[in-house]
Every structure is written in C-alpha cells, then in structure tokens.
A and B are shown apart, each in its own frame.
Chain A
C-alpha cells in the first residue's frame, strides 16, 4: 500500500480585488475554491484545466509560494502552512517546482553551473570544493554535456533551458515535484524529449509529481491519475485509463473532443462548447459549468454538485451522475 505523500483538503485561495477610493476589498478572484485530493508516493498526478481553472494557483499554494486562504495542505503528514520560516526552508529541498517559461526561470547573469550549484551550497548538500562535481553529475543525468556548466542561459534554446531548470530542481534530490506546464512553450519535437526526461527521472529517482497542463495528450502519457479542473474546482478525478475510456463529466467530454488529432480521416463528433469561460471573480451559481453545459438542467444553476465517487477510483462532480 503506497503511503500518502501529499494531502490537500478543501483548499481555497482567493485573491482580493481592491477598488474604490480607499482601496478596500470589493471582491475576490476565487482562483481555487475548495479542492481536495491526495497524491501517493511514486505517483504521477495530472492536473488539467484551461485558463481560469486555478491549476497554476494550486501548484503554487501547495508549495506555499503564496499563503492559502483556507484548507490544509499536508506533506508527509506535516501541515506546510504552519511551518516556521526555518522549518519551511528545511522542507524546500524535498518539494520542488518547475515553472512554465524556461526563458525567465534562469537568472540571465548567472552561469548554469553556478545556478545549479547555488541551492546545493545553500542547503549544505555540497561544499565549495565538491559542488562542481555534483553539478556535473546532475547535468549528465538530465541529458546534457558537462561543458554547459560555464555557459550563460542566453546561449541555449528553450528546450535546453528547460532541461537546465529541471536539473536545478533535481539537484536537491526532491521527493515531490510540481511541474507547471513545463512543455507548453516548447516545440513538439523538443516536448517529446522533455516528456521522456520526466519519465526517466521518475523511474530512476522514484519521484512523485503533480503535472499541471492544459494538454490532455501529454498528461495521458505521463500520469497515473488525473484531475480535471474548471473555474477553481475539480470536476472529475480518475485513473488514467478510467478517465479516457469512460469520461463522465460533460466538461471532460468536451475537452477530450476538442483536442485536434493528427488524422484527417477521423470523423469528429465534436462537442463545441458555447460561450466563454466565466471570470473566476464571479463564478456562476450552482455548478460552475452550467452556463456552457449541453446537458444543463434546472437543478444545475441552484445546487453545487459534490465531487463524489461514482466508480472505483473515479470521482465526478455532476448532477447527472
């Protein structure tokens, strides 16, 4: 039985909107509005959603890169938001984050070797004498050559920079990595290389990760369990096979059918959603998806559907279920 590594319970993160003359709070952007899930050790968990779904905010709140509004996040049983500054710092090597944009994630004025070595020195994982050696090890592990060490970020392409960012995160030997759309800004042929790198690292280092993406096809390749988010809540959560063979929530179905497939002979039975994604500062009443749902009923605008288990390891938040 795998142990639970990360446990998120009813997490909420609101961003206040200030307005008016004296700058008082006039509303909230409800980026994450009551999300619960857990990730086991060794698991790859995919979090999928479009803009406004709150997926990036969850990734950052989980690692306490911002302060939560309410709810709990427990990492190995420890509440991450209750830690002192010192304890939080001690935790950091175990939980790492990879940002989406490889072009701004690296300090342009720092050599790659220094950028990767710095966290090692900070946390005492290496001394000035052996840091270079350790940096070389990690660089090779991530599929790069050791002559990268003395170079600057601007000398590398997007894909190479993303590898460097991954190497920097891996240097601390984390147990858990949150990867926020790490391949979205890369070309297809480079995406494939980085996706493979993620798979390899997971196998070699026993990593667990939360993989955030808008691209279901990438997530299908890498993750065992997947959660679909819409406007701050999880609408469906299932194992990979379950989700793709038996999607329940209308949004999931629409998302799946919207993905363009490179096969011109395929007759698409496409569900085209009407309307736009509402603003997270003013979400629709009841089920947030009801304004765009093809199966909308009266009940949907009045009551919020709970995320309940409809099959083994498969949860959905829909009144139809």
Chain B
C-alpha cells in the first residue's frame, strides 16, 4: 500500500496483466528454480524422447554381453540379460514418471473435489468425507501398498494391469491429505467477502465451488501437485524395488535398483544400480526444489491487493 499500487489510472503497460505472469517472472528470478526446471526438462526428454535415439531395443537380449561394464558401445554397460542399461534407464524413466504424474493427477482431482465439497457444505457431508479420509490416512500407506502388491503377484496379474493398479492405489492413498488441505483453504475462503457477494448474487453452489473456490486454491494446488508427484515417484520406486510394484520385464527405476540386492552386483557392478538411484534422486530433489520455489513465487503477493 505504501507503493500506492492502488492508484493506477490505467493498468501500467509495464506490468503483465495476469498474476500468473507475475508469478512466472518471480519464479524465473530464482536460480534454484531455473536449475530445477532445467533438470526436469532434461529428465523428461531423456525418458520420453531418448529411447528413439538409442540404437538398441529394449528387449535385445544378448547373452554374450551379460553384465558388461560401461564401454563405448554401451555407455552405462549392460544388465543381467545383456540389455543396454542406458536404454532401460530411459524406458524406466517413462514408467516411473508416468506413474508419478498420473497418480498425482488422479489424487488431485479426487482430493480437490472432495475437499472443496466437504469444506463448502460442512455438516454431514463434511463429516462423512473427512472420516473416510481419516480412515485412509490412518492406515500406513506403504504396508497397504505392499499388501496389494503381494496380492497382485499371488493373483498373477499381468504386468500391464499391475501398472494401472499401482497408479490407482497410489492415488487412493494420496487423496486424503490433499482433501484436508483444500478443505482448510475452502473453509477460510468461504468467509471472504467475494463469496458472500456470490451468495447475494444468487449464484449456484456449483458455480461457487468450481468458478470461485477452486480457482482460488490453485496456488496451493500447484505446490501440492509438484510435491505429490515426487512422493508418487518415490512410492513407486520403493514398491518396485521390493518387487511388488512394476515387475520385470517392464523396467522401472525402482526395480532396476533391485540389482543392489545381490551382493556381488552391489559390490562389483555399480553401473547397474547407481544410475537409477541417481535418476530418482535428481528427479525428486528437482521436483521438491521447484515446489518450494513455486510456493514462494505464488505466495502472499498473489492475494492481489
């Protein structure tokens, strides 16, 4: 207010029109954020475009080349079936990232709608939804996923189906936390004057929730979405490492690290498990840093005073 921002005659030509533009500008000024974005773009390209550039195929089994150390032909060596590790790393990236992102989207949609409805209506609806959320949150996530994973193995579910089920399970475990956050925001937003104005204007509940409340939670949503992608990737990796998520032959960063289970591979063939480990590490750290930076960029100044 001391900057007399509220006294513009015509909106200043220098300032961008939307708050999003301003937020993006602020984000780009943060060096860590830019580096993180860079890494993530690289990883995405690496995983999704990379395989087309590789001379190898994913299932090229070459017995003669089993477990070769890195060489000019195979930059990251070969694995226990003679497949190119670099290629498998890229393909695994596709799987892990897809699972992470998809489960995030699913839990986002579920959590946002349920959280917003819960916060907006209160009363019985709120109680029911929040109690279900509480129940889900009090069941430890990982053990639950492990049980489901074991079940899927017992039932000999094909590896494709497993993927979808893993995504579904991850989002079922993820939505309660998000719903709580959204509900909290909605509770406070609901008391704002512009919501009361919406009441007086006779706007329908649907409009109020979808056109007003949810858009005002976008800053929170974006941050949570980023962080929950990271957590999705980690969960999937853990599961797959334990052999309960994505199982071979489908590659995933998690199940590639499984190689470290074998003592000899662990000690002597680091090229099998260090690259996937590093890939997970870099991706998750970059996502977390980006999430932090997004929170800063979208923070109080977004309130638009």
- Contacts known (A107-B216, A122-B204); A155 close to B11, Cβ less than 8 A: yes
- Contacts known (A107-B212, A153-B304, A157-B6); A99 close to B196, Cβ less than 8 A: yes
Question: Is B71 in contact with chain A by the CB < 8 A criterion?
Answer: no
The reply to whether B218 and A92 form a contact with Cβ atoms under 8 Å apart is no
Question: Is A308 in contact with chain B by the CB < 8 A criterion?
Answer: no
The reply to whether A152 and B202 form a contact with Cβ atoms under 8 Å apart is no
The reply to whether A155 and B8 form a contact with Cβ atoms under 8 Å apart is yes
Measured in the bound complex, the distance between the Cα atoms of B194 and A165 in whole Å is 10
Measured in the bound complex, the distance between the Cα atoms of B201 and A214 in whole Å is 25
Residues of A within 8 A of B302 (CB): 108
Distance from A84 Cβ to chain B, minimum over Cβ atoms (Å): 13
Measured in the bound complex, the distance between the Cα atoms of B192 and A65 in whole Å is 14
- Contacts known (A105-B193, A109-B218, A152-B18); A119 close to B305, Cβ less than 8 A: no
Question: Is A101 in contact with chain B by the CB < 8 A criterion?
Answer: yes
Bitwise, B205-216 to A at CB < 8 A (1) or not (0) is: 001000110011
The reply to whether A104 and B194 form a contact with Cβ atoms under 8 Å apart is yes
Distance from B305 Cβ to chain A, minimum over Cβ atoms (Å): 6
Distance from B299 Cβ to chain A, minimum over Cβ atoms (Å): 14
The reply to whether A109 and B201 form a contact with Cβ atoms under 8 Å apart is no
The reply to whether A97 and B193 form a contact with Cβ atoms under 8 Å apart is no
Measured in the bound complex, the distance between the Cα atoms of B8 and A158 in whole Å is 10
The reply to whether B19 and A154 form a contact with Cβ atoms under 8 Å apart is yes
The reply to whether B304 and A152 form a contact with Cβ atoms under 8 Å apart is yes
Question: Is B200 in contact with chain A by the CB < 8 A criterion?
Answer: yes
- Contacts known (A110-B212, A152-B18); A99 close to B202, Cβ less than 8 A: no
Question: Is A135 in contact with chain B by the CB < 8 A criterion?
Answer: no
Residues of A within 8 A of B11 (CB): 151, 155-156
The reply to whether A122 and B194 form a contact with Cβ atoms under 8 Å apart is no
The reply to whether B194 and A118 form a contact with Cβ atoms under 8 Å apart is no
Bitwise, B292-305 to A at CB < 8 A (1) or not (0) is: 00000000001111
The reply to whether A168 and B201 form a contact with Cβ atoms under 8 Å apart is yes
Measured in the bound complex, the distance between the Cα atoms of B15 and A106 in whole Å is 20
Question: Is A63 in contact with chain B by the CB < 8 A criterion?
Answer: yes
Bitwise, B180-207 to A at CB < 8 A (1) or not (0) is: 0000000000001110111111111001
Residues of B within 8 A of A158 (CB): 6
Interface residues of B in 103-147 (CB under 8 A from A): none
Bitwise, A93-113 to B at CB < 8 A (1) or not (0) is: 100110101011111111000
Measured in the bound complex, the distance between the Cα atoms of B204 and A151 in whole Å is 24
The reply to whether B211 and A118 form a contact with Cβ atoms under 8 Å apart is yes
Nearest A residue (CB) for B203: A122
Measured in the bound complex, the distance between the Cα atoms of B303 and A107 in whole Å is 10
The reply to whether A97 and B200 form a contact with Cβ atoms under 8 Å apart is yes
Number of interface residues, chain B, beta carbon within 8 A: 30
Contact of A151 among B17, B199, B202 (CB under 8 A): B17
Question: Is A123 in contact with chain B by the CB < 8 A criterion?
Answer: yes
The reply to whether A104 and B202 form a contact with Cβ atoms under 8 Å apart is no
Nearest A residue (CB) for B199: A65
Measured in the bound complex, the distance between the Cα atoms of B11 and A154 in whole Å is 9
- Contacts known (A97-B200, A104-B192, A118-B201); A109 close to B8, Cβ less than 8 A: no
Contact of A122 among B15, B197, B207 (CB under 8 A): B207
The reply to whether B17 and A155 form a contact with Cβ atoms under 8 Å apart is yes
Question: Is A302 in contact with chain B by the CB < 8 A criterion?
Answer: no
Residues of B within 8 A of A151 (CB): 11, 17
Contact of B17 among A118, A152, A169 (CB under 8 A): A152
Distance from A317 Cβ to chain B, minimum over Cβ atoms (Å): 30
Interface residues of A in 138-173 (CB under 8 A from B): 150-158, 165, 168-169, 172
Residues of A within 8 A of B6 (CB): 156-158
Distance from A266 Cβ to chain B, minimum over Cβ atoms (Å): 33
Measured in the bound complex, the distance between the Cα atoms of B141 and A45 in whole Å is 62
The reply to whether A63 and B207 form a contact with Cβ atoms under 8 Å apart is no
Bitwise, A118-138 to B at CB < 8 A (1) or not (0) is: 110011000000000000000
The reply to whether B194 and A106 form a contact with Cβ atoms under 8 Å apart is yes
Residues of B within 8 A of A123 (CB): 202
The reply to whether A92 and B305 form a contact with Cβ atoms under 8 Å apart is no
Contact of A105 among B197, B211, B304 (CB under 8 A): B197
Contact of B193 among A88, A104, A156, A168 (CB under 8 A): A104
- Contacts known (A103-B305, A118-B211); A108 close to B202, Cβ less than 8 A: no
Measured in the bound complex, the distance between the Cα atoms of B15 and A63 in whole Å is 40
Distance from B207 Cβ to chain A, minimum over Cβ atoms (Å): 6
- Contacts known (A107-B212, A110-B211); A99 close to B19, Cβ less than 8 A: no
The reply to whether A101 and B207 form a contact with Cβ atoms under 8 Å apart is no
Measured in the bound complex, the distance between the Cα atoms of B191 and A104 in whole Å is 11
Contact of B196 among A65, A89, A165 (CB under 8 A): A65
Bitwise, B1-43 to A at CB < 8 A (1) or not (0) is: 0000011100100010111000000000000000000000000
Measured in the bound complex, the distance between the Cα atoms of B190 and A288 in whole Å is 35
List, sorted by A's number, 10 A–B pairs whose CB atoms are closer than 8 Å: A96-B201, A105-B193, A109-B216, A118-B207, A122-B202, A153-B304, A155-B15, A156-B6, A168-B201, A172-B201
Q: Identify 4 new A-B residue pairs, CB closer than 8 A, beyond the known A109-B218, A150-B17.
A: A97-B197, A107-B212, A123-B202, A168-B197
* 10 tightest Cβ-Cβ pairs between the two chains A and B: A92-B202, A154-B304, A108-B304, A104-B193, A155-B11, A119-B201, A97-B200, A157-B6, A109-B215, A107-B194
